[in-house]
Every structure is written in structure tokens, then in C-alpha cells.
Amino acid sequence: MSCVTILREVFGYNAFRGAQQAIVEHVTAGHDALVLMPTGGGKSLCYQIPAIARQRANMGAAIVVSPLIALMHDQVGALHEVGVEAAFLNSTLTGEEAHKIEQRLLRGEITLLYAAPERITTPRFLALLDSLYSRDQLGLFAIDEAHCVSQWGHDFRPEYRALTVLHERFPQVPRIALTATADALTRDDIVERLQLQHAHAFVSSFDRPNICYTIVEKRDSIQQLLRFIIQNHDGDAGVIYCQSRKKVEELAQTLVNAGLRALPYHAGLDSKLRQTHQDRFLREDGIVMVATIAFGMGIDKPDVRFVAHMDIPKNIEGYYQETGRAGRDGLPANAWMGYGLQDVVNQRRMIDESPASDDFKNVMRGKLDALLALAEATDCRRARLLSYFGETQPFAESYSRYICGNCDNCLQPPALWDGTDAARKLLSTIYRIQQQDNLHFGAGHLMDVLRGKRTDKVVQYNHHALSTFGIGANYSEVQLRAVLRQLIATGALAINASAFNTLHLTELSRGVLRGETRIQLRATLSKLAEKTSRAPGSKAVSPKTTLQLDEAALVRFTALKAWRAEVAREHNLPAYVIFHDITLAQIAQRSPQTATDLQDISGIGAKKLEAYAIEVLRVLKNCTI
């Protein structure tokens, strides 16, 4: 059976997307592959179809390395729904249950077996693989979330390093490593650590054109977030990332008080409560999850309409991975982030105070600098984001002139002002203070001096006597903070984390002081304009607008969703595992009258047709009464 036939008959899709077919055929033929494909791009099919094809050709089972229990459960459930024999081995099983699965694997009854890297590298599991390998019944290794193997990745997990044993012990078994996020440094590390030097690299475009990127200057960040959600995503599923557990708890309660269905998620919660919250997010509509980065990897929920960051992540990889959890169904989605000077200070401090080596810290500082540059950008966000991953088309000549049409800077080009004069005055003030006292001070004190404010601290250190005292009185605090952020982002100012986050000059300060380096900044929006405007380019979304349903189709779609929710509860699976919204929308639009009519709808394979055709047709018939 060809791979295209498996795609159609098992998964219900008529054609592969992008590089999927080339990857599937390459791996099915027994070759190694490194696959970089954006979230929502269909990575799972790239190993699931080869696994099915190789099992049907009597080449044995596929072993899938998966880092999360929740992901294993949902993927195995989804494969059962399409009629594929799959199983997982993890800590949720009893010893007897695990033994039965191992025996089924040895009998050739399982096509895909999911397990965590910690289990796969144990002597017991390796002995199980030895038995399969000796009988030529070990068909494929799939290493999901492969960026976890790299110390440069945003989610490094040391246990992934031990997976080199797979190639050393079973050299004839093809391997496919997959990730949605990896810059050039991380890719090289994946290749080296997993010994994939001879693997073919399939690198898809990192562009997610359905996601609108917006980064705003923090003023009253909670109110800014509430306006964004209420104006654009009332009733939608979303994820909000915060840096601390305390902030997660407080923000979740604030959203609940504002009438939103919000839940907290972080590693400090009781494990049962944390699992309950995750299950509700996956299985219910319109839940907003407020979380630390402990939440998200492996979450396949396709209808997340927005991802918001209340604090900047550590690097662009983390930002891209987290924002990529929005709009996996291809429908419009928003990525919103609030950003301020304190974010820069906090992230710099965490790097500087970490026990890592100097080389590692330098790499992390470079990654943070790239993210800060993205946040401070006045040109296309998407172009800068893609260029970070080495993707230069379609803006090969100059991404600064590229307009993507779906980020805040392209939809509402910011008015700019020349901050060079303010920057020179700030740096001059720092220089004079250091010359006078050989002391370093924080941002607040420097702005007080520059704006001519005689605070107790200014008087105590006689800084009102400096020649730069008051020479920046024409600049607002908001403007000066923007200048400071950009000076730090470009390396013209450095933060001394070991000395109370004080600021000091660098070699790059000279170019600004001499007027050789220009500082261009976005003009500050008025609070009135911010209160009355939507997120740039975004719309209040609904099934009617995003799925283009007329009134009659919307009635059918609503009825189908209610039926799907009942089936999902019975099967203890997220609703999207039964059918995606897009599949239900196609059914609602076409209003098929027979099971044969359902065959042509994307996402309905042979097993689902057999299992659900009668019930779907019943729901549609009742809608017409």
C-alpha cells in the first residue's frame, strides 16, 4: 500500500502538504531524516505514515520518543480513532498493564509504541528492543521534540543525550528526528548529539502566515491584556504565559473576576489539579490557560486563537514555539506580548547569575539580544523572526522594507522619533556619575538626574550639581525608558546583575556618544488611542467569520460540535481528536446526505467513516427538521 493511499484511507486526507510526501517516502525507504517543520505543519504524519507502511511490509514496529505523558495519551487515542494499533509505556500504567503491552509488541500487534527517553534507555527496554532487532521487527525510531537534545535549545533535557544508544546499538533502523524550533546552532547540536550526520535535513518554512504578531510597550499590562482579550477573543481558547508561579495565580484570578474562564497551570500545583486543568483546557471550549512555560509542549489543541506573553521569554526559539501553539488549524490567530524595561533587566540578571560557563552565558546573551531586537523593531516582525531561523525569502534584499501584512508594524506602521539626542544625554549622565563617584546606579535614578528631579538620593550624592542635571527635562519618563531599552538591546548599555541591576557603559557606547549610531524609536501612543483600538489587524473571531459559514451552516456546525463533545467525553479524548473544527465546518457547509458524500471530506478516513457516518448524518437530519 502506497503512502498516499495510507494518507487517504487511514487519515482521510487527499494530498500531502509541503515537504510531507518527500519526508514520508524517504523514511519509509529506510533512510534517516532531520525534520524542521512549524507547529501545526503536520510533523506527526511524517513518522506515523512510514510506521504504518513499514509495519504492513513486515518490517516491525516504530518506537516514538515522546517527552510528555499527556502527549502520548492523546496521540495514541487519535491513532486508535483512525484504526491504527498504538500504545504507550509510561508511569500511568501498572506493572501488569506494561507487561501486556510489551508482549503485544513482541507479537507484532503494535504499530507505534510511545515512550519517554528515560524509559527507552533503561536496560529492560533496550533488551526488549534487542529482541525485536534480532528478528528484524524493529521498523523505525521517531524522536519527537528533538530540540530537547541540545543545550542551546529552549527546552534542554539531559536525558535526550542518552538516545545516541539507539544508533549505536541498532544501526540498521532508520531514525527521524523532528522539531518545530531550532536555529542553526541548535540544529548542528541535534545532528552531532543524535549522530545524524548522514541524515537528510528537511527544513520547511518557519512562517505561520495566519498568526498576527503584536508586541506592545507595557504600561498597565493587566488592563492592556484584558482589553486585548475582550475586544478580540471573548469566548476563545487561549494561553497566557507568565514568568512566575505567583503571577500565574494572581492573573488567573484577575481574569476570572473579569468574567473569563481562566485556569492557572504551573509546576507548584498539586499534580492532580494540574492534570485536571490541562484536561479541561483540551476538552472544553473557551478556556484561557494562564501558565508558566511548564505548560505547552505537546499540546495539540488546534483551536487556540491567541497566545499572550506577560513577560518576554528567554529567546526567539521559546517565543516562536509558544506563539506557534496558536492557530494550529490554520485559521486566524494572534500572538500578543507586553514588553518593558524590567523584562530586559530580569532576563539579563538570570543569565548573569546562572552557574553556567561563560561560553554558555555568551550564547544565551546573544539569543536574548535577538529577541530584544525583535521587540524593539519598528519594521516587519515576521521578517525579523524568519531571518533569525535563516529564512531570507521573500525578503532577500532587505527585510526592513518587507511588509507581511499581518504584524503590528506592517498593519499600523509606527511613527518614529529620533532618540539619538536623548540616548547621548543618558550615556553622558552615566559617564559623569561614574567619573564623580565611581558608583553605578539604576535606571530610575539616572532618569531623575536627567529630568532634573531633586530626589533625596539625587541630593545625597550631589548629582544635582552635574552638568547633565535637568538637560533631559523635555523627555518623558516613558520616552527615556524606551531609549534605555534600546541601548540595552543593542549592547550600548550593560546591566550589572551582581550590583543591584545597575547600568554601566560598554565599548558600543562610544558610537552613540559620538553621534555615529542613530537611535530610532516608535512614538508613544496616547492612552486614549490605546483604550479604543483593537490589536492591529485583529478581529473579534467566531465560527461564522473564521470558517465562512452562512446561517444554516452555522446551525449545523453548532449541532455537530455538541455531538462531538459527547463522543469525546465517552472516549475520554479531546474533541479535536474525534474531528477537527475544519472537518466539522466542511460537513456543515456541504450538508452531505449519504455516507458516500462524507468520503470526500478532509479528515474522514475509513475507520472514522465506519464509526461515525450514521451519527453525523442523524445530527444533520435533525438540523433540517
Average pLDDT over residues 447-472: 93
Q: Do 288 and 367 fall within a single domain?
A: yes
pLDDT-derived band at 342 (thresholds 50, 70, 90) equals confident
Asked if 433 contacts 467 with a C-beta cutoff of 8 angstroms, the reply is: no
Cβ-based neighbours of 558, under 8 Å, separated by 6 or more: 543
216 phi and psi, to 5 degrees? -120, 150
Cell of 303: 483551536
Question: What average pLDDT does range 599-606 have in this prediction?
Answer: 92
In a domain, 555, yes or no: yes
CATH of the domain at 465: 1.10.10.10
Contacts 24+ apart (CB under 8 A), 447-453: 447/472, 447/477, 447/480, 447/481, 447/484, 450/425, 450/426, 450/475, 450/480, 451/475, 451/477, 451/480
3-state secondary structure of 43: helix
Q: How far apart are CA 392 and CA 284, in angstroms?
A: 39
In a shared domain, residues 271 and 396: yes
In a domain, 7, yes or no: yes
Q: Is 537 a member of any domain?
A: no
Q: What is the pLDDT of residue 532?
A: 35
Using CB atoms within 10 Å of the CB of residue 573, give its burial: 0 to 12 exposed, 13 to 18 middle, 19+ buried. Answer: buried
Who has greater pLDDT, 299 or 186? 186
What value does the mean pLDDT take over residues 275-283?
89
Residue 618 confidence (pLDDT): 94
Q: What is the CATH number of the domain that holds 618?
A: 1.10.150.80
Per-residue burial over 118-156, b = 16 or more CB atoms within 10 Å of its CB, e = otherwise: ebbbeeebbebbeebbeeebbbbbbbbbbbbbbebbbbe
- CA nearest neighbour of 230 among 257, 258, 256, 262: 258
Residues 455 and 439 occupy one common structural domain = yes
pLDDT band at 530 (very low <50, low <70, confident <90, very high): very low
Percentage of residues of the chain with pLDDT beyond 90: 56
- Judge whether residue 495 has pLDDT over 70: yes
Same domain, 352 and 315: yes
Within a domain: 533: no
* 528 pLDDT more than 50: no
Residues 391, 464, single domain; the answer is no
189 inside domain = yes
Q: Which of 381, 413, 445 is the last residue of a domain?
A: 413
The length of the chain is 625
Judgement on whether residues 172 and 58 belong to the same structural domain of the protein:
yes
Of the residues 158, 186, 203, the one at which a domain ends: 203
Question: What's the pLDDT score for residue 525?
Answer: 45
Using the CB atoms, write b or e for 598-612: b if 16+ within 10 Å. beebebbbebbbebb
Nearest to 410 by CA among 374, 382, 371: 382
pLDDT band at 254, cuts 50/70/90? very high
CB atoms under 10 Å from CB of 496, counted, come to: 15
Q: Are strands 416-418 and 520-522 parallel, antiparallel or unpaired?
A: antiparallel
Q: For residue 179, give the amino acid letter.
A: T
Tell me the C-alpha to C-alpha distance, in Å, between residue 10 and each of 358, 469, 572, 604.
51, 73, 21, 8
Tell me the residue range of the domain where 221 lies: 211-413
Coil/strand/helix, residue 126? helix
Read off the C-alpha cell for 221. Answer: 499590562
Closest CA to 579 of 538, 620, 624, 616: 616
Q: Is the pLDDT of residue 395 over 90?
A: no
In tens, the pLDDT along 128-186 reads 999 999 999 999 999 998 988 887 766 778 888 999 999 999 999 999 999 988 888 88
Is 245's pLDDT higher than 90? yes
DSSP per residue, 538-549: -----HHHHTT-
* CATH assignment of the domain containing 107: 3.40.50.300
CA distance 41 to 364: 28
Alpha-carbon distance 262 to 280, whole Å? Answer: 10
AA letter at 507? E
Please give the C-alpha separations between residue 221 and each of 226, 326, 333, 337, 349, in angstroms, as whole numbers.
9, 21, 20, 10, 22
Question: Which has more confidence, 62 or 412?
Answer: 62
Taking residue 267's Cβ as centre, other Cβ atoms within 10 Å add up to 12
Least confident range of 138-142, 308-312, 442-446, 563-567: 442-446
pTM for this structure?
Answer: 0.81
All three cell numbers of 452, joined, read 532634573
Q: Are residues 192 and 97 in the same domain?
A: yes
Number of CB atoms found within 10 A of residue 42's CB: 19
pLDDT band at 485 (very low <50, low <70, confident <90, very high): confident
Any domain includes 474: yes
- pLDDT of 415 reads 83
Domain match, 98 and 48 both:
yes
Q: Is the pLDDT of residue 527 over 60?
A: no
Do both 112 and 99 map to the same domain? Answer: yes
User: How is residue 11 annotated by DSSP?
Assistant: I
Asked if residue 396 belongs to a domain, the reply is yes
CA angle 560, 563, 566 (to 5 degrees): 150
Same-domain pairing of 256 and 366 = yes
Where are the extended beta strands (E) located within 370-446?
A: 416-418
* 540 pLDDT more than 60: no
For 229-244, what is each residue's pLDDT tens digit? 999 999 999 999 998 9
Count up the domains in the chain and report the number: 4
Average pLDDT, the chain: 88
Q: How confident is the model at residue 543 (pLDDT cuts 50, 70, 90)?
A: low
Nearest to 152 by CA among 206, 102, 110, 190: 190
Do 317 and 247 fall within a single domain? yes
Whether residue 158 is preceded by a cis peptide bond, meaning omega within 30 degrees of 0, is: no
What is the arithmetic mean of pLDDT over 12-21?
A: 92
Assess if residue 534 is contained within a domain.
Answer: no
> Is there a single domain that holds both residue 257 and residue 172?
no
What's residue 390's pLDDT? 82
Query: What stretches of 245-332 adopt beta strand conformation (E)?
Result: 262-265, 288-291, 304-309
Residue 501: pLDDT above 80? no
Q: Please, are residues 296 and 325 in contact by the beta-carbon 8 Å criterion?
A: yes
Domain end: 151, 182, 203, which one? 203
Question: Does residue 30 have a pLDDT over 60?
Answer: yes
